[in-house]
Amino acid sequence: QVQLVESGGGLVQAGGSLRLSCAASGRTFSTYNMGWFRQAPGKDREFVAAITWTGGITNYATSVKGRFAISRDNAKNTVYLQMNSLKPEDTAVYYCAAGRSAYMSEFNRYDYWGQGTQVTVSS
Q: Is 1 exposed, middle or buried (0-12, 13-18, 19+ CB in 10 A)?
A: exposed
The CB density around residue 20, as the number of other CB atoms within 10 Å, is: 23
pLDDT tens per residue across span 3-18: 999 999 999 999 999 9
- In the chain, which stretches have pLDDT less than 70? none
- Residue 123 is predicted with a pLDDT of 93
- Residue 73 is predicted with a pLDDT of 96
- Residue 6 is predicted with a pLDDT of 98
> What is the identity of the amino acid at 93?
V
- Residue 27 is predicted with a pLDDT of 77
Region of 8 on the Ramachandran plot (φ > 0 left; ψ -120 to 50 alpha; else beta) = left
CA distances, 73 to each of 21, 36, 53, 81, 116 (Å): 11, 15, 10, 12, 20
- Residue 3 is predicted with a pLDDT of 95
- Residue 1 is predicted with a pLDDT of 85
- Residue 5 is predicted with a pLDDT of 98
